[in-house]
Structure 1
Amino acid sequence: MDKKMLSLIILAHASDVLENAFAPLSDQDYEVAMKRVRSLLELEYDVQAEKKGNEVMWAVFEAFSK
């Protein structure tokens, strides 16, 4: 996934505006979108930060998730 798109999703969730963005979707599309977002939010950010080149991005995500 593109880093910018991933960042927008994580920050929109942290700002409590993500569900509002999905409001116009049909029920089925909403469930699919939320399932995918939940899978991203359940990632272990510290494990992802150990991968080369993404340390700062994942550290910021972890800070926003607290």
Structure 2
Amino acid sequence: MKLIKLKVQTGSVGLKRIQELAQKVQSPDLPAWWDNIDDWVELIKSNYESDIAELKKWVVKQGN
């Protein structure tokens, strides 16, 4: 998935942490971007289970 889609889609379902990280990843003009990019990608990958749980809560809430 492209980062722009990731940023927009995660923001629309309330996954703010992923949205903020995706914004950083697609902003190579940030100071120390190259030093941080691997850490940001790892944060997305390491927290996906809790983010999926949040997404499931959001989906259930939308069905009510």
- Report TM bin, short chain: 0.3 to 0.5
Q: Which has the higher helix share?
A: 2
Superposition TM-score, scaled by structure 2 size: 0.38
* Structure 1 length-normalised TM: 0.37
